[in-house]
Amino acid sequence: MIHVEIINGPITPFPSDNSHQDDGAELVFNGRVRDTEHGENITALEYEQYEGMAEAELRKLAEETMQKYPVHNLFCRHRVGKVNVGEASLHVAIWTKHRKEGLEGMSWFISELKKRIPIWKWAIMEDGSRIPSECTHR
Amino acid sequence: MIHVEIINGPITPFPSDNSHQDDGAELVFNGRVRDTEHGENITALEYEQYEGMAEAELRKLAEETMQKYPVHNLFCRHRVGKVNVGEASLHVAIWTKHRKEGLEGMSWFISELKKRIPIWKWAIMEDGSRIPSECTHR
Amino acid sequence: MITVNVKCFSQVMYALDTDILLIELESGATTDTLEKIIRDRADGKLDGVSLRTAVNQKYIPDVVELKDGDEVAFIPPVQGG
Amino acid sequence: MITVNVKCFSQVMYALDTDILLIELESGATTDTLEKIIRDRADGKLDGVSLRTAVNQKYIPDVVELKDGDEVAFIPPVQGG
């Protein structure tokens, strides 16, 4: 099952419950905003999306991940708008039978997300100015 | 920071809050009991530990992981006693600057845990019988 | 003549100081012609910036002919995550 | 003579049908002597089972001499996670 969402506002994690009787491995990633960008202190990042295309590409990527790896469920929320330091901009949960494919699937999904989902960020500096963040592609 | 615990009873997840200002990556793993062991239906696993040594080895392993990978925090709870199908027997949370080292650290930590922490499991079958589970070492 | 909507994001928005442009092109014009127009308007600010082309919200692998009403975006390196 | 406590887990417990044994050994006896005693008692049930030795709750890399009161465990393949 796939669930992808691009949301404006704090991310609520997907429920981690006991209903996955055939999934031995549940892996959750939270990507959080760090307090520096290129060595300069920031107070927040502001994420901009290509509305429509970003969510469509995210869904396509989730489908590809599930074709490439034996992933049973892939849930993803990506936040747009202003995200303060410490808060999560990305939340991904993956359920697999074994952990190996979960770790590989997670790694691939996030790497690809950072290459192709049309989302960009601006750094909000301590003085309140807003500057385009450079691409890091890591 | 390290936090390791071996507990008898349901696992409460570690808090996922917004206090990690320099950790861009928060990775959480839940190892859950699947409904089959070697092709046979089970209702639960019962985990047995070498009391004292299991927790000491787990702490040692967490320390090694933090020496080997740039992990800022490694928290782990392993459950012993009866764990029903679907429930988590293992809960690991790792905070790192970037996701790559988090994924690598998580992968290594769990692989080593499965090699050296003196914990064993017994399968509780549908008829109530309790049989030693074979080692899989995956 | 055809008219296309060009959506501008991130560095492209920054370079052109707008998030949308309506551009008239000769019939039969292709995406690379349009990219050249956009880069020229940026007055050097997009030099060295790699751009992927999306037409109607899908990445296109190669140059395509544009149709009246197409939505086009020249997508600078993305930064999600 | 010395006395050591042998803690038995999983397959070892299953093979010996007990979780603890008190065993008397000659002074100077080593872990491999004790392992042989344990394997003999298991009456074939531990054949082919690899056992790592722990003395006083620490894995030991090699054979060591045992002391009176030592806690020893022959640890079958572990299964945590």
pLDDT (tens digit, 9 = 90+) per residue, C58-77? 999 999 999 999 999 999 99
pLDDT at A136: 41
Residue ranges for chain B with pLDDT beneath 70 = 134-138
Per residue in D36-76, pLDDT (tens digit) is: 999 999 999 999 999 999 999 999 999 999 999 999 999 99
- Taking contacts as CB-CB distances below 8 angstroms, the residues of chain A near B32 are 18, 20, 23-26
Asked if the model's pLDDT at residue C10 lies above 70, the reply is yes
pLDDT at A125: 92
pLDDT at A130: 87
| Chains D and C touch, contact meaning at least 3 pairs of CB atoms under 8 angstroms apart | no
Find, in chain B, the residue whose alpha carbon is nearest to that of A101: B107
pLDDT at A38: 80
Q: To the nearest whole angstrom, how far is the Cα of B24 from the nearest Cα of chain D? A: 26
Query: What CATH number has the domain bearing residue D46?
Result: 3.10.20.30
Within a 10 A sphere around the Cβ of A8, how many other Cβ atoms? 10
Say if C18 falls within a structural domain: yes
pLDDT at D74: 98
pLDDT at B38: 80
Say if C80 falls within a structural domain: no
Per residue in A119-129, pLDDT (tens digit) is: 999 999 999 89
pLDDT at A135: 43
Q: Across the interface, which of A52, A53, A135 has its CB nearest the CB of C79?
A: A135
Q: Do residue B78 and residue D80 have CB atoms under 8 angstroms apart?
A: yes
The token pair that represents B35 in the structure block: 């409904």
Bridge-based pairing of strands A2-8 and A25-32 is: unpaired
Per residue in A40-52, pLDDT (tens digit) is: 899 999 999 999 9
- Domain spans of chain B, in order of start: 2-7+24-132
B81 contacts chain D (CB < 8 A): no
Q: Indicate if the alpha-carbon torsion angle B35, A4, A110, A64 is positive or negative.
A: positive
Say if C81 falls within a structural domain: no
The token pair that represents A56 in the structure block: 């469509």
Query: What ipTM score was computed for the predicted complex, to two decimals?
Result: 0.92
Q: Which domain holds residue C16?
A: 2-75
Q: Do residue C81 and residue A114 have CB atoms under 8 angstroms apart?
A: yes
Q: Which CATH number fits domain B2-7+24-132: 3.90.1170.40, 3.40.640.10, 3.30.300.10, 3.40.50.150?
A: 3.90.1170.40
The token pair that represents A48 in the structure block: 């901009």
pLDDT at A21: 82
- Taking contacts as CB-CB distances below 8 angstroms, the residues of chain A near C14 are 132
Asked if the model's pLDDT at residue A76 lies above 70, the reply is yes
pLDDT at B132: 77
Q: CA D78 to CA B118: how far, in whole Å?
A: 6
Q: To the nearest whole angstrom, how far is the Cα of B103 from the nearest Cα of chain A? A: 7
- Taking contacts as CB-CB distances below 8 angstroms, the residues of chain B near A28 are 27-30
Q: Do residue D79 and residue B119 have CB atoms under 8 angstroms apart?
A: yes
Across the range D11-39, mean pLDDT stands at 97
Across the range A24-29, mean pLDDT stands at 97
Q: CA C2 to CA C67: how far, in whole Å?
A: 7
Q: To the nearest whole angstrom, how far is the Cα of B101 from the nearest Cα of chain A? A: 11
Chain B: touching chains (3 or more CB pairs < 8 Å): A, D
Domains in chain C: how many in total? Answer: 1
CB-CB contact of B31 with A25 (8 Å): yes
pLDDT bucket at A84, cuts 50 / 70 / 90? very high
Say if D19 falls within a structural domain: yes
pLDDT bucket at A134, cuts 50 / 70 / 90? low
Q: CA A86 to CA A30: how far, in whole Å?
A: 10
